[in-house]
Each structure stands twice: as structure tokens, then as C-alpha cells.
Amino acid sequence: MLRRIYGIETEYGVTFSLRGQRRLSPDEVSRFLFRKVVAWGRSSNVFLENGCRLYLDVGSHPEYATAECDNLGDVVAQDKAGESILRELVGYAQQQLGEEGIRGDIYLFKNNTDSSGNSYGCHENYCIERIDDLTRLEQVFIPFLISRQIFTGAGKVVNNVRGTAYSMSQRAEHIWESISSATTRSRPIINTRDEPHADPEKYRRLHVIVGDSNMSEFATYLKVGTAAVVLAMIEDKTTVLRDYSMASPINALRDISYDLWSKEPVKLANGRDLTALEIQEDLCERAESFLQSHQLPSDQVHAVKLWREVIEQYRSDPMLLADRVDWIAKLQIIERERERNGVDLSHPKIALIDLLYHDTNYERGLYYRRQAKGHVRRVVTDDEIATATHTPPSTTRAHMRGTFIQAAKKWRRDYTVDWVHLKLNDEMQRTVLLKDPFKSSDERFQKLLLSLERHN
């Protein structure tokens, strides 16, 4: 599969405080946050006009799942549109709280851990060919995911029995298995629950749980783009790939997270030792060869080019990746604070930096302060993000879902949608089943749209 469908699900952290003192529980804040959502769709679980899904997840975490995308620009814009939509909800909730005389500020964080040590996720979804033998995924894709932290990690100051240390990944400490059908109690790198949201005879949805939430547009672009290319190589049975299976994948995940400069090798199941950088270099080299004989989409070709640039820069001077890689950008801010005030890594000021980097508020958020100064490399524009808040991707199934929702609202018709169904809740209960995520329109959908207009 060369053209591929992908999407990102992001859970957000939310809190409400006045002068540093928490005043409402996350559950109470989220109820205010979702008042407007309930008004939109009579539920706290809705699909929006841009084809995305917005809902309240376990633990009172707002969750935004992008619509199906088949190009990297769309997935980045859709991901950032999620931040924009939730910022609007925060503004609305803040107004409601003020009217009820409740003083304080809502904070919405795009991160993966809270102060109590709980973790919430950023899950990637990739449409792959229907395969039952997961051997190549275990040998190649899982080692790729474990070692890609060097450019996808969001960074985290970790306090544990070993003391205080900085790690590349926020999720590394919270993953316990390589492959599993679980998602919470025993979080795996890849979730195998077979829920394709498409024709089950043709497709499988690969559900990746190990990733961090990225503030960096560049990191999101590279994270999804490189994964898509690696999956294309895995699906192509003629492509020879090395077996990178690790002797202890979960230990390797954690060890690499603390090995910021990729100095320490991890042991492979075959007895060899490779560093995270060496694994990424080898896979990138094979991807470059793969491009010579396969016609991949231009954005994936571009992702491989950026992959090579990041690897070379990481090898020569990793701190110069602060404009592209979240964990390095955050580390740069932390190190400047430590030098300026002579504080150690466990100081409360450092903990505050660690958190505020992920604040989605444009004025408070440290990432967005850097962006305002032109210190981050962008891949989409503000206009493209604004468009993505109300317009679905035009080249996938999401186009039909978003267009149907827009039309149903325009004509004030009662409807129900999910990832694969469009339904009019009238006396005829007309339903269109969308089993092909690659199709952006078909005859049945057009008839359903016409029926909306004729009824009025």
C-alpha cells in the first residue's frame, strides 16, 4: 500500500486553578468545557463538520480524533485544528465560569502525563493491508517505533527512585508490552484490537499507542510520514529488511528515552548491539533505496528527505534541532533557565517549564512563544489550520462525512454518523455504509445528499 490512510487521536490534560491553587476537579472543568459540544450534538461524543470526532475520554480527558487523511499536510492541519477547536471551547467555558462567579483559569495541555503520574495518550492509526502474521511488524516496525524517539519525543523531567532525569519520551515510562489488545492497564506499543473501521476483508487498522503528543508540526509530519514509508516496506514482501527485534523491547524503550545522545547500544534478539541512531540510520538508508524502485506519494518522499536531514543533524549537533524536535526545544529552554538561575533539574521552576511548554494557550504556552518569535519550523499555515477546523480532507471518506454533517445541519435534519455510517433519522432511516476509507464520494452518498434537499 503506497497511498495510505492515517489519523491521530490526542487526549488533552485539563485543569482549573486560581493563583496556583486547583479550584475545580478535572471532571468539573470538563463538564463546563463540553457544554457547547453537548449543544452541538446532544452528546459529549460528536463528529464535527471537519470529519473529526470530539469526545470526553476516561479520566475527564478531552479527546480529539482527526478525520481520515491521506497526505501529511492534512494530518498536521487536522491535528492542529483540534487544538484550535478546544481553545474555542476553553474560551466559552471560561466565560460560563465567570458568569457563575467562579474565579480562575482553565489550562489545556497537549502532553501525556499529569502531576499524579497518570498517563494519557496520543494514538496514531494507520490503514494497512489485511495481514494476520505480525512477524515483520515485530521485527521491524516495533524497533522503529522504539528508536524514533530521537525525533518524535516530547521530553519529560522524570522523578523516580533513581532520582531526577530528563527523558526524550513522556510515554516510555508507561508502556509495558510490545503487542497486546489492551490499551490502559497494560499499555502496549501496538494495540492489536481488530477494529478496522473499513472493509475487514481488505484492511486492518494499526493502532500505535507508544507515541508522544507533539507540539511541533514538523515532528508530527515526520512521525507519520516515516511510519508510512516503513509500513510500505514491510508490506512489500520483495523488500529485504533486517530483523531488529530487541532482546527486551520495553527495557530498550526506557533506556533509549534516557540516552539523549544515542551513545548506548541496545541488545538485539540476535545478539547484536545497535544504538537508536544506528537503527534509524539503517532504516532511513533502506527507505531511500525503496524510493528508487517504488512510486510513493510526493509527501512521503519529502518525509524521507527530512528524515535523512534530521539524522545527520542529530549526529553532528543535536541541539540545532530545537526548531523541529520537541524534546530538544524543551531541553534548550530548561538548560537556559538552569544556567540563568543556578537551579537543578528537580527545582519547581523546571517542573513549570516542563508543563508550560505544552500549554495550548498562545500567550502562556512556551512552544507558542517560540513560534511567535519564528524559532520553530512550520509545515502548515494558520489559514490552513483555520480551514481544517470546519472543512474535512477532500480526498478521503472524511469528505462525505463532513459534507453530510454540514448539509444535515443546514436543513435541520436529525442524523447519526460514525466512522463508517451516515444515517438520516427519519421515517425511512436511510443509511449509507462507507467501507472504503479511500473513496471521497460515491453514488449512494450523492443520493443521500439529494434526499436532504428534496425533503425541504
**pLDDT of the residue at 47:** 96
| Helix axes of 298-316 and 276-293: crossing angle, nearest 10 degrees | 150
Burial of 46 (C-beta count, 10 Å sphere; 0-12/13-18/19+): middle
Q: Where along the chain do the CATH 3.30.590 domains lie?
A: 6-388
Catalytic residue among 57, 105, 199, 442: 57
User: What is d(CA 362, CA 371) in angstroms, rounded to the nearest whole number?
Assistant: 9
> Which run of H or E residues covers position 125?
strand 122-129
Looking at the predicted structure, is the pLDDT value of residue 410 above 80?
yes
Instruction: Report the chain's mean pLDDT, rounded to a whole number.
Output: 93
Looking at the predicted structure, is the pLDDT value of residue 81 above 70?
yes
Q: 1 with 128: CB under 8 angstroms?
A: yes
Q: Which residue has the higher pLDDT, 35 or 399?
A: 399
User: What is d(CA 192, CA 205) in angstroms, rounded to the nearest whole number?
Assistant: 9
User: What is d(CA 7, CA 69) in angstroms, rounded to the nearest whole number?
Assistant: 6
- Which residues have a Cβ under 8 Å from the Cβ of 443 and sit 6 or more positions away? none
Active site includes 57?
Answer: yes
- Which residues have a Cβ under 8 Å from the Cβ of 311 and sit 6 or more positions away? 277, 280, 281, 284
pLDDT digits 0-9 by tens, 328-371: 999 999 999 999 999 999 999 999 999 999 999 999 999 999 99
User: What is d(CA 168, CA 261) in angstroms, rounded to the nearest whole number?
Assistant: 10
User: What is d(CA 289, CA 308) in angstroms, rounded to the nearest whole number?
Assistant: 12
**pLDDT of the residue at 44:** 80
| Torsion from C-alpha of 163, 168, 170, 172, nearest 10 degrees | -80
Does domain 6-388 correspond to CATH entry 2.60.40?
Answer: no
**pLDDT of the residue at 131:** 79
Per DSSP, the residues of 128-196 read EE--S--HHIIIIIHHHHHHTHHHH---EEEEETTEEEEES-SSGGG--EEEES-SSTT-EEEE-----
**pLDDT of the residue at 292:** 96
Q: How far is CA 263 from CA 105, 275, 277, in A?
A: 43, 7, 9
User: What is d(CA 363, CA 158) in angstroms, rounded to the nearest whole number?
Assistant: 26
Looking at the predicted structure, is the pLDDT value of residue 116 above 90?
no
pLDDT range class, residue 115, cuts 50, 70, 90:
confident
Q: 103 with 95: CB under 8 angstroms?
A: no
**Average pLDDT of the segment spanning 276-282:** 98
220 conformational bin, left if phi > 0, alpha if psi -120 to 50, beta if neither:
alpha
